[in-house]
Structure 1
Amino acid sequence: MHKVVLLFLVLLATSCQLFDKKVPDENQLLQQELQKINWEEVDELPSVMQCDTIKDEAVKKQCFFDYLAQTIQERIGIDTLQMLYPETDTISVKVTINPDSSLQFEPQFSKDSVAYDKVKADSILTSRLADFPKVEPAIKRGIKVKTQFILPVIIKVEK
C-alpha cells in the first residue's frame, strides 16, 4: 500500500511540471502580430455598386478605378477646368476614401507649377464632386479603413 501511495505522490509531483508552461509576453505577441501585417495593402479594395458582382480581384479593381475616373471626368471635364486650363489634358486627383464612406478630392499639381490656381481648381473639384455616388471603403482585417490614391483624370477629350 505504501508503494502505491509513494508512486501516486511521485506521479503527482512530476505531472505538475507538465502544466508549468511559460505564458508568452502580451507585448511580444502584439509586436509579432503587427510585424505580420502588410500595412501597404488592404484585404478588400474600395468598391462601388457597379463593380460589386465581379469576382476576379484584378477585374474588380480595374472596374473601380475606371468608374471613378469616368465619373470625375464627366463632372469636371464639362466646362470649367477645360476652360481654365486649355493646355492641360489630364490632371491628377488625390482621392481619399474614409471609413465612413465620405470622399475627399484634391488636385495634384507639380510643385514648381505656377500656371495653376490651386485654390480655384480645388473649389471646382469640391463643388462638382459634392454629391459623388456612394463608395464602400476598403477593408483591412474586417475593419473599414481609410485609403488614398492618385487618379489621373482626362479633362480634354480629342474630338
Structure 2
Amino acid sequence: MRKLIWISFFGLLTACDFFVSKEEATQKLVEEKLLQIDWDDVDQYPLFDACREDMLKPEQRACFEDTMMTQLNKALEDMEFEVKNDLNDTVLIDFLIDEHGFITIQNVEEKAKVLKEIENFNSEVTRRLNDLTTVAPAIKQGIPVSVRFRLPIILNTQ
C-alpha cells in the first residue's frame, strides 16, 4: 500500500508542475509577441470619408494628411488679425485622434514673436480646430487606437 500512495502523490506533483509550465510558456509567448510589435506605427491610419480603407498604407497617410490640412485651412481661412510687424513663422499644432475618432488639440506651440503680435492666437486656433469632424480611428492589431499628429501652420503677413 505504501508504494501505491507514494506513486499517486508523485503523479499529483508532476501534474501541478505541468500546468505551471504551460502558463509560464504562454506568458513567455505573449511577452515575445509584445516585443515584436512596433508601437510607434499603426496598421491603418485614421480615415476621413474621402480616404479608402483599401488604400496602401503610404496612400492612407497621404490622404489623411491632405484631408486634415484641407480641414485646417477651412477652419482657419477667415481668421484675420492686425499686426504691427510682419510675421513669417511656422507654428506646430499637436492633435490627438482618440480610439473613437474624435480630434482634439493637445498643444499649439507658443512662439513669443507670434504671441507678441497676436495675443489670442493660440486660444483662437484651439477654439476653431476643436470643432473638426470625427474620423475613423487608427487601427493597430485590429483594435482602434489613439494617435498623435503634428502639423504646421505657416504664418506669413508679407
TM (normalized to structure 2)? Answer: 0.69
Q: Summarize deviations over 1:44-83 as a string: whole Å, max 9, x none.
A: 1111001126623222211210111121122124224x54
Residue 152 of structure 1, CA deviation: 1.6
Structure 2 distance, partners of 1:59, 1:41, is 15
Residue 86 of structure 1, CA deviation: 4.9
Alpha carbons of 1:31 and 1:119: their partners in 2 closer, same or farther (altered >3 Å)?
farther
Aligned to 2:79: 79
Q: Which runs of 5+ in 1 are unaligned?
A: 1-19
Q: Is the 8 Å Cα contact of residues 45 and 61 (structure 1) preserved in structure 2?
A: yes
SS in structure 1 opposite 2:41? coil
Q: Summarize deviations over 1:24-50 as a string: whole Å, max 9, x none.
A: 613322211111111111111111001
- The structure, 1 or 2, with the larger RCO (C-alpha pairs under 8 Å, 6+ apart) is 1
- 2:27 is aligned with 1:56: no
Between Structure 1 and Structure 2, how many residues are aligned?
135
SS in structure 1 opposite 2:94? strand
Structure 2 distance, partners of 1:97, 1:119, is 27
Structure 2 distance, partners of 1:50, 1:70, is 11
Residue 119 of structure 1, CA deviation: 8.0
Structure 1 distance, partners of 2:148, 2:58, is 18
Q: Is the 8 Å Cα contact of residues 88 and 155 (structure 2) preserved in structure 1?
A: yes
**Larger Cα-atom Rg:** 1
Structure 1 distance, partners of 2:137, 2:119, is 27
- 2:71 is aligned with 1:68: no
Consecutive aligned runs of 4 or more in structure 1 exceeding 3 Å deviation = 82-86, 116-119, 154-158
TM (normalized to structure 1)? Answer: 0.69
RMSD of aligned alpha carbons: 2.9
1:114 to 112, 115, 118: 112
SS in structure 2 opposite 1:49? coil
Aligned to 1:13: none
Structure 1 distance, partners of 2:51, 2:156, is 26
Structure 2 distance, partners of 1:155, 1:114, is 14
Counterpart of 1:56, as a letter, is L
Aligned to 1:31: 31
